[in-house]
Amino acid sequence: KAGVTQTPRYLIKTRGQQVTLSCSPISGHRSVSWYQQTPGQGLQFLFEYFSETQRNKGNFPGRFSGRQFSNSRSEMNVSTLELGDSALYLCASSTGLAGYNEQFFGPGTRLTVL
């Protein structure tokens, strides 16, 4: 079974631009979560989607948004990029049926904002 895939793996943007990251979950998984990982703040939850609906949202500004498609693939968008948005963005998928279900993580997209 193929794992969680994220594209692109690396991205360089400049301040003020916007970016879209993509995540393809494991086949059959209906839940996709996004996390931001930085050296200073660690791993922080961004949001979670289940069957195209956002079920949970972390404490991030409105510049961070996401969506999920009918095939469970998900995208997250960051508008008006700031230097502090430089991070590894991790996507995770699960069956989404309970909070104790294992989340399977992708390799991440490393975003650098110059």
Partner 1 sequence: AQSVTQLGSHVSVSEGALVLLRCNYSSSVPPYLFWYVQYPNQGLQLLLKYTSAATLVKGINGFEAEFKKSETSFHLTKPSAHMSDAAEYFCAVSPGANDYKLSFGAGTTVTVRA
Give contact residues for partner 1 (rule: CB under 8 A): 4, 31, 33, 35, 42-45, 48, 50, 55-56, 58, 90, 92, 94, 96, 98-100, 102-108
20 vs 104, beta carbon nearer partner 1? 104
Question: Measured from the CB of residue 56, what is the shortest distance to partner 1 in angstroms?
Answer: 5
Residue 19, both tokens: 């970016």
Handedness of CA 8, 10, 13, 17 (dihedral sign): positive
Question: Measured from the CB of residue 86, what is the shortest distance to partner 1 in angstroms?
Answer: 16
Separation between Cα atoms, residue 15 and residue 33, nearest integer Å: 25
9 vs 15, beta carbon nearer partner 1? 9
Separation between Cα atoms, residue 102 and residue 79, nearest integer Å: 30
Question: Measured from the CB of residue 23, what is the shortest distance to partner 1 in angstroms?
Answer: 11
Residue 67, both tokens: 């969506």
Question: Measured from the CB of residue 79, what is the shortest distance to partner 1 in angstroms?
Answer: 22
Q: What is the residue whose two structure tokens read 């960051």? A: 78
4 vs 78, beta carbon nearer partner 1? 4
Residue 85: φ, ψ to 5°: -80, -5
